[in-house]
Amino acid sequence: MSARSAAARSALGRAAAGAATALVLLAACGETAPTPPAATTAAVPGPATPTTTGPATAPTSAPTAPSPALLVTDFGADTVTFVDPTATGRAAGLGSVRVGTAPYGLAVGPDGTAWVATAEGVAVVDTAARTRTALIPHTTRTGPVTTGEYRGGGMGLALSPDGSRIYVGVNVPGGNGTLEVVDTATRTVTQVVPVGRRPFDVDVSADGRSVYVTDHDSFDVTVVATDTWRARRVEVAPYGTEGGLGSWLKPHYTAVRPSDGALLLPFEGERLAVVDPATGRVTVEPMTANTHQHGVTAAPDGTLHVVGTGPIDPATDAGPSLTIRSPDGTERLVPLDGPHETVTLSPDARTAYVSGGFTREGGWDGLTVVDTATGRTTRLPVGHLPLAVAVLPAPPGG
């Protein structure tokens, strides 16, 4: 372990009691939350112009496909916002739909139906009509509906490869969470599987046989078999578990490597945990960003994109960045302006959309659009603490 990580863990350990107290305060039980107001559409405010940095020259390669429209969850509000990533300023926001309190994870099917994890349940959005068509309440008791970093309710969310199921990680403040399985045809919860604490992320194997729930506060990934619903815990703690609830040195998000299905979890811009989900074996590879890391996604060729949110210890750590890691382990770093949370790629992987809705202090209302070839970045003001980003399917004939 580096001196930076040891010092950080020691400092954060002193804050553990405060974090644990915050969790306990949010853990009271309550009845099912009321349905939020009906869907509405409204313009999204924002600064008049974006900020662009980096080389202005386009790469000398084949032209990219037209930029797709995006959908983002507004964790600081109760909406999802439609985004035109090619527009500037306020014009980038194409309107919002009210879905439920503090929306977190997001998945969009090929038919354009969006599934959104909220504090109350899974919202269903017709992205063509731009309306919320349903809210599927959580069956897990999560206590009063609240907002903020430790709120109960849906967090990570994923769609099965065949589109028949939604998997949503449900946070229970102060305790272990659950994986709720939603039948997309009947729009009902059909299974509830116990998982670890604060399920930040949910991913699915390419064959649909396994679901992977990344449990932040219990230092693990829960592997769930979709035929038997049996769950296995795999500890992923390359810095150990010292520090308990107060430690930042925990898993946040996971990418599934396309080549072999391994799970890839970045830590602190220093270590990449590579997990074999079949055996639970964890190996660690070095990373270079030297910054606290959250969101991660893999391109079809295996290139990894990792969000660095910024330093734990400003005296020793580097600032926010996007790591672009080739399958051979070489890395390029793209500096970012301010904390970010998740990263989503365009279909051709030439553009990365990095959300500004960091759930702790420092989040901002917008996305950074990154040209992955040149490293050019453009800050785009949209939404209210946008957290998850999804690419919308092209309209018929579009």
Question: pLDDT tens digits for 306-348?
Answer: 999 999 889 999 999 999 999 999 999 999 999 999 999 999 9
CA distance 109 to 112: 5
Residue 42: pLDDT band (50, 70, 90) is very low
Q: 265 and 275 in contact (C-beta within 8 Å)?
A: yes
Tokens of 331: 């890395």
CA-wise closest residue to 293 among 372, 238, 373: 238
Q: How far apart are CA 16 and CA 34, in angstroms?
A: 33
Exposure of 21 by Cβ count < 10 A (0-12 exposed, 13-18 middle, 19+ buried)? exposed
- Strands across the sheet containing 70-74: 41-42, 93-98, 79-83, 70-74, 386-391
3-12, 128-137, 166-175, 235-244: the lowest-pLDDT one: 3-12
Place of tokens 């690419």: 391
Band (394; pLDDT cuts 50, 70, 90): confident
Q: How far, CA to CA in Å, does 199 sit from each of 36, 38, 150?
A: 23, 28, 11
Give how far Cα 168 sits from Cα of 138, 198, 363, 364, Å: 9, 12, 24, 25
Mean pLDDT of 382-391: 97
At 3 the pLDDT is: 42
pLDDT of residue 380: 96
Q: Classify each residue of 338-358 as buried b or exposed e, where b means 16 or more C-beta atoms within 10 Å of its C-beta.
A: bbbbbbbbbeebbbbbbbbbb
Q: List the structure tokens of 248.
A: 């930042």
- Secondary structure element (H or E) that encloses residue 10, with its range: helix 3-14
Q: Where are the beta strands (DSSP E) in 337-381?
A: 343-345, 351-355, 366-371, 377-381
Which one of 2.40.30.110, 2.130.10.10, 2.60.120.10, 3.40.50.2300 gives the CATH number of domain 3-55+68-391? 2.130.10.10
Handedness of CA 358, 250, 172, 163 (dihedral sign): positive
The crossing angle, in degrees rounded to 10, of helices 16-25 and 3-14 is 50
CA atoms of 11 and 311, how far apart (whole Å) = 13
Structure tokens at 202: 């949910």
- Which band of pLDDT confidence, cut at 50, 70 and 90, is reported for residue 290? very high
Q: Is 170 helix (H, G, I), strand (E, B) or coil?
A: strand
Percentage of residues of the chain with pLDDT beyond 70: 81
Q: What is the dihedral of CA 251, 9, 271, 345, to 10 degrees?
A: 50
Mean pLDDT, range 42-65, rounded to an integer: 36
The one-letter code for the residue type at 47 is: P
Exposure string for 180-194, b = 16+ CB within 10 A, e = fewer? bbbebeeeebebebe
Average pLDDT, the chain: 86
Neighbours of 43 (CB within 10 A): 12
Residue 37 predicted with pLDDT over 60: no
Angle at 352 between CA 348 and CA 356, to 5 degrees: 155
Q: What does 220-235 look like in DSSP terms, one character per residue?
A: EEEEEETTT--EEEEE
Average pLDDT over residues 243-255: 81
Cβ–Cβ < 8 Å for 122, 182: yes
Contacts of 143 (CB under 8 A, 6+ apart): 26, 27, 28, 29, 30, 152, 172, 173
Region 370-377 average pLDDT? 98
Residue 307: burial class (beta carbons within 10 Å; 0-12, 13-18, 19+): buried
**What does the block give as tokens for 271?**
């270590």
Its pTM stands at: 0.84
What integer pLDDT is reported at residue 66 of this predicted model?
55
Phi and psi torsions of 277, nearest 5°: -70, -20
Strand partners, 228: none
Tell me what pLDDT residue 307 has.
98
Amino acid residing at 65: A
The type of residue at 274 is V
Domain residues of the chain, as ranges? 3-55+68-391
